[in-house]
Amino acid sequence: MAEKKALKEKFRRDYTPTNYFVEQVNLLFQVFEDCTKVSSSLKVKRRDGAPENAPFQLDGEGLTLQSLSIDGETLPPSRYSWVEEDLLEISGPLPSSFVLQSLVTTKPEENTQLSGLYKSSSIYCTQCEAEGFRRITLMQDRPDIMATYEVRIEADKESCPVLLSNGNMTENGDLENGRHFATYNDPFPKPSYLFAMVAGDLGFIRDTFVTRSEKVVALNMYSEHNNVKKLYHAMDSLKKAMRWDEETFGLEYDLDIFNVVAVNDFNMGAMENKSLNIFNTSCVLASPETATDADYERIQGIIAHEYFHNWTGNRVTCRDWFQLTLKEGLTVFRDQQFSMDMTSAAVKRIEDVNVVRSMQFPEDNGPMAHPIRPESYIAMDNFYTVTVYRKGAEVIRMYHTLLGKEGFRKGMDLYFQRHDGSAVTCDDFRRAMADANGVDLTQFERWYLQAGTPVVRCEAKYDVEAKRLSLLLKQSCRTPQGGDALPFHMPIRVGFLAQDGSELLPERVLELKEASQEFVIENVNSKPVLSLLRGFSAPIKLEYERDDEELAFLMAHDKDSFNRWEAGQLMFSRTIHANAKAMQAGQAMQLNAKLVDAVRRTLLDTSLDKSLQAYALTLPNLQNLAESMEIVDPDALVDAYKFTKKEIARSLRDHLLKTYEANLLPEDSFRNDAEAIGMRRLKNVCLGYLAALGDKEVLDVCLKQALTANCMTDLVAAASCLAANPGEQSDKALEHFYQQHAKDDNLVFCKWIAIQAAACTDQALEIVDKLFKHPSFTIKNPNICRSLFISFAGNMKHFHRADGSGHRWLTDRILELDKLNPQTAAKILTKLAGYKRFDAPRQASMKAQLERVRNTEGVSKDTMEIAIRALA
């Protein structure tokens, strides 16, 4: 195979079905200390109508091919060749049905890419999505080839007592030389990306779930022995998810067994392999001492997400990888709905919208912008993006809002009725939604075709005489190519508030379809205050003129919790942006008295839900604020942010301290019910304000919390406050954190790194460099890499130092990482892609680093694709 990676771009429009298809896969894995042998036997059929002499193409990457035969006869080398570096072609003619056998050897212990078969600590495991199966054996490695799998694993019994694959275990037993075997059969046809196998010395917990048709499902969760006690929260979450999917969508689990395995080294969060989910330890292990409240919620959401894929992804899968959002957008929507039902709907919605605004909007507004259904890719792994996942979920949410809960359910039912067991497209999903409800969703396709964030401007007119309210909505959207997008079909949820805060009229969903559209509402008795885009009913930027009084009114009265929060966020960002402008003009920054009043009112209102109260008190994050700056000036923005936070803290110091104290929980007993979580959230937001003051008294409060915390939530909160205030207390807290918790626990070590890398201090770059050289730092573990690199990239002022030192430092690391793990290196490089949004010196520096990557010999196709697209 050729050394040089050819950069081949694949296009959505080029989709064609194959001439042959694999129907049944038989695999034998013989795992040895230094090498694994994979024997495969593929039952292949020629498709009706395909030419008899058509060649048969198989994907294979980095394989050492030992032998190849058809129907038992060894194929002479003249019959096959590598037509591309990862594509083997067997020349025709071939029988209309035949068995292709191959033997390859691989070295999992040397697989640092963590794609295909690899070793994580002492565990052999696989990751095949998107195109990793071809790194295990020759196969038509594309999702429209669905086959049944029979797998036999052989390994040393002592080092690998646990042997797992998809489906049911059919046999197991001992072999010679201290080895043993197990065989598995998965009756459901599946694409190769859902294949998985695991071999290792694992501990486990067991449970069962009885489905609504009274089938008993065995649930097993596996991890390294010392982590087994941290699996219970995940197990609990799984059972809740199984029940929820039955109740909400009538979807029941379809096999007798469901396994989850936790591994340390994993490029993403988790993977939905049929009946054998494999998880990054960070997304499954939880104990109060090692996981924060946010981690508990995230784990619950991801366990549900992977479980939900069994129907949305596995039973109905994607025809090709351009359709990724078909399963991911839908499954994210499902896990979001689940979490809303399990915890608090408003809190969850606020968190999800924050992700869309602070991560997806910038992606959509930069050179990496792509529609939720991309048109082309070089490395598919680069398209597991916030756009495909999160904006994809917002698009599904819009069907839900437009069609209503029942209508959406009808659409889902029809989708499964039509497509169960097949590989389909986003258009098939849209058609099921439309047909089940008898509505026209033609225009809705534009969400799949056009990138960019639409801006919707609203103008309201109220005619007192006629009692008529008219709302003029105008939408516009710039595409990444610089043109104007065609108008989108979107739901705008609107509430109408009377002067006393009550609902003047019932809430409405306005269906906006035109570039400019007027909605007239009759019999409106007085001029309402509008509550627009309730619950963030469309992934857009809303523009509507209103003053601070009106925002304060909404903060106090809107019955939509999301919009109450939203009004407060708007008020915060106005002040911060005004201060950033003042800063740039060399003028004094100021604190808006109305903002302080509003914050005080929120702080003192003990009738509020504490989680919502905490979010209402939280400043918009910097990424979010940067998005609405014409030219991002990190220095002015961060200084304005810090000034605003500090001045609020100065004005409300006593109230903040009192609220902090009022929400302390007893240290001797840990609780993680909703009330306790709300109390911690509120208390720690207060602590964050107080820490902005940076005086001895408040830093001592932080230190006390760090030293006496009975849970990771409180430790992380206090340590983060202190990391931003270097000095005696900070040193003590971080040392305590390391000694007590981080030094023996990989996931806690990651938190310890992340806190320091994100801290906005003058020493930031020196600190990250020191962390990089820390004896426990290893570039081979993606979680550790992300904790350092991604956290530092979010450290707005210091990553974006005007002298370019932050950009250079990160690029050095990316180039080093790329040699081992292209997927993770490429992900980190996206942090440099948004350069056009910055001022001239920073643009030049970020661009220079992207060019450096592009000009480096031997860079992976993953990382090269990001550099090329970013510079295009």
Between residues 279 and 799, which has the closer beta carbon with respect to ligand ARG?
279
| Residue 268's binding partner out of ligand ARG, Zn ion, none, with CB under 5 to 8 Å set by partner kind | ligand ARG
Between residues 334 and 645, which has the closer beta carbon with respect to ligand ARG?
334
Please give the backbone phi and psi of residue 772, each rounded to the nearest 5 degrees, phi first: -60, -30
* Binding status of residue 267 toward ligand ARG by CB under 6 A: yes
Between residues 302 and 504, which has the closer beta carbon with respect to ligand ARG?
302
At closest approach, how far in Å is the CB of 309 from Zn ion? 6
Q: Applying CB under 6 A, which part among 257-265, 267-275, 468-476, 848-856 lies near ligand ARG?
A: 267-275
Q: Which of residues 301-360 bind ligand ARG (CB under 6 A)?
A: 305-306, 328
At closest approach, how far in Å is the CB of 491 from Zn ion? 25
At closest approach, how far in Å is the CB of 509 from ligand ARG? 30
Between residues 227 and 277, which has the closer beta carbon with respect to Zn ion?
277
At closest approach, how far in Å is the CB of 324 from ligand ARG? 9
- Say which DSSP state 712 is in: H
Residue of 129, 297, 306, 351 marked active site? 306
Strand (E) or helix (H) holding 428: helix 426-437
Instruction: Let me know if 224 is a catalytic residue.
Output: no
Can you spell out the DSSP letters for 437-480? HT---TGGGHHHH--S--EEEEEEEEETTTTEEEEEEEEE-B-T
Tokens of 113: 């890419």
Q: Applying CB under 6 A, which part among 263-271, 552-560, 615-623, 717-725 lies near ligand ARG?
A: 263-271
Label residue 542 exposed, middle or buried (CB < 10 Å: 0-12, 13-18, 19+): middle
Q: Which of residues 309-328 bind Zn ion (CB under 5 A)?
A: 328
Burial 434-468 (b: 16+ CB within 10 A, else e): bebbeeebeebebbbebbbbbebebebebeeeeee
Instruction: Identify the residue among 205, 218, 268, 345 touching ligand ARG (CB under 6 A).
Output: 268
Cα 637 to Cα 317: distance, rounded to the nearest angstrom: 44
Can you spell out the DSSP letters for 169-211? EEEEEE-STTEEEEEEEEEEEE-GGG--EEEE--EEEEEEEE-
At closest approach, how far in Å is the CB of 405 from ligand ARG? 25
Between residues 382 and 569, which has the closer beta carbon with respect to ligand ARG?
382
Look up tokens 């006690």; give the residue: 229
- Say which DSSP state 85 is in: T
Between residues 266 and 749, which has the closer beta carbon with respect to ligand ARG?
266
CB 295 within 8 A of CB 750: no
At closest approach, how far in Å is the CB of 389 from ligand ARG? 7
Tokens of 232: 């219970």
| Residue 381's binding partner out of ligand ARG, Zn ion, none, with CB under 5 to 8 Å set by partner kind | ligand ARG
Burial 668-696 (b: 16+ CB within 10 A, else e): eeeebeeebbbbbbbbbbbbbbbbbbeee
Between residues 133 and 399, which has the closer beta carbon with respect to ligand ARG?
133
How many binding residues for ligand ARG (CB under 6 A)? Answer: 13
Q: Applying CB under 6 A, which part among 41-49, 264-272, 650-658, 781-789 lies near ligand ARG?
A: 264-272
Cα 442 to Cα 764: distance, rounded to the nearest angstrom: 51
* Cis, peptide link before residue 717, omega less than 30° from 0: no
How many binding residues for Zn ion (CB under 5 A)? Answer: 2
Instruction: Identify the residue among 271, 379, 451, 458 touching ligand ARG (CB under 6 A).
Output: 271
Tokens of 462: 């109220």
| Residue 271's binding partner out of Zn ion, ligand ARG, none, with CB under 5 to 8 Å set by partner kind | ligand ARG
Between residues 569 and 823, which has the closer beta carbon with respect to ligand ARG?
823
Q: Which of residues 102-131 bind ligand ARG (CB under 6 A)?
A: 129-130
| Residue 320's binding partner out of ligand ARG, Zn ion, none, with CB under 5 to 8 Å set by partner kind | none
At closest approach, how far in Å is the CB of 822 from ligand ARG? 11
- Give the 3-state secondary structure of residue 313: coil
- Say which DSSP state 230 is in: G
Look up tokens 């056998």; give the residue: 101
At closest approach, how far in Å is the CB of 116 from ligand ARG? 11
Can you spell out the DSSP letters for 607-668? TS-HHHHHHHHSPPPHHHHHHTSSSB-HHHHHHHHHHHHHHHHHHHHHHHHHHHHHT---TT
Instruction: Identify the residue among 86, 154, 186, 272 touching ligand ARG (CB under 6 A).
Output: 272
| Length of the chain in terms of residues written | 872
Between residues 305 and 489, which has the closer beta carbon with respect to ligand ARG?
305
At closest approach, how far in Å is the CB of 301 from ligand ARG? 11
How far are the Cα atoms of 505, 538, 571 from residue 497, in angstroms, in the given order?
Answer: 8, 21, 19
Tokens of 401: 């809002």
Instruction: Determine how β-strand 10-11 pairs with β-strand 376-377.
Output: antiparallel
Instruction: Determine how β-strand 97-106 pairs with β-strand 64-70.
Output: antiparallel
Q: Applying CB under 6 A, which part among 92-100, 262-270, 344-352, 674-682 lies near ligand ARG?
A: 262-270
At closest approach, how far in Å is the CB of 306 from Zn ion? 7
| Residue 130's binding partner out of Zn ion, ligand ARG, none, with CB under 5 to 8 Å set by partner kind | ligand ARG
At closest approach, how far in Å is the CB of 335 from Zn ion? 8
Cα 708 to Cα 714: distance, rounded to the nearest angstrom: 9
String marking each residue 814-833 x if it binds ligand ARG according to CB under 6 A? ---------x----------
At closest approach, how far in Å is the CB of 122 from Zn ion? 27
| Residue 267's binding partner out of Zn ion, ligand ARG, none, with CB under 5 to 8 Å set by partner kind | ligand ARG
Upper half-sphere CA count for residue 206 (Cβ side, 13 Å): 4
Tokens of 662: 């009022």
Between residues 272 and 566, which has the closer beta carbon with respect to ligand ARG?
272
Closest residue to ligand ARG, judged by C-beta, is: 384
- Give the 3-state secondary structure of residue 121: coil
At closest approach, how far in Å is the CB of 380 from ligand ARG? 8
Between residues 310 and 863, which has the closer beta carbon with respect to Zn ion?
310
Q: Which of residues 327-356 bind Zn ion (CB under 5 A)?
A: 328, 331
* Binding status of residue 388 toward ligand ARG by CB under 6 A: no
Q: Applying CB under 6 A, which part among 269-277, 401-409, 763-771, 780-788 lies near ligand ARG?
A: 269-277
* Binding status of residue 865 toward ligand ARG by CB under 6 A: no
CA-nearest of 802, 796, 808, 797 to 841 is 802
* Binding status of residue 265 toward ligand ARG by CB under 6 A: no
Instruction: Identify the residue among 144, 381, 428, 818 touching ligand ARG (CB under 6 A).
Output: 381
Between residues 269 and 366, which has the closer beta carbon with respect to Zn ion?
269
The beta strands (E) that lie in 633-777 are given as: none
Q: Applying CB under 6 A, which part among 35-43, 270-278, 492-500, 586-594 lies near ligand ARG?
A: 270-278
Cα 255 to Cα 275: distance, rounded to the nearest angstrom: 8
**β-sheet bridge partners, residue 492:** 510
The two most distant CA atoms of the chain are separated, in Å, by: 94
Cα 663 to Cα 611: distance, rounded to the nearest angstrom: 12
Cα 638 to Cα 626: distance, rounded to the nearest angstrom: 10
3-class DSSP string for 19-46 = CEEEEEEEEEEEECCCCEEEEEEEEEEE
Active site amino acids = 306
Name the residues that contact Zn ion, by CB under 5 A. 328, 331
Name the residues that contact ligand ARG, by CB under 6 A. 129-130, 267-268, 270-272, 305-306, 328, 381, 384, 823
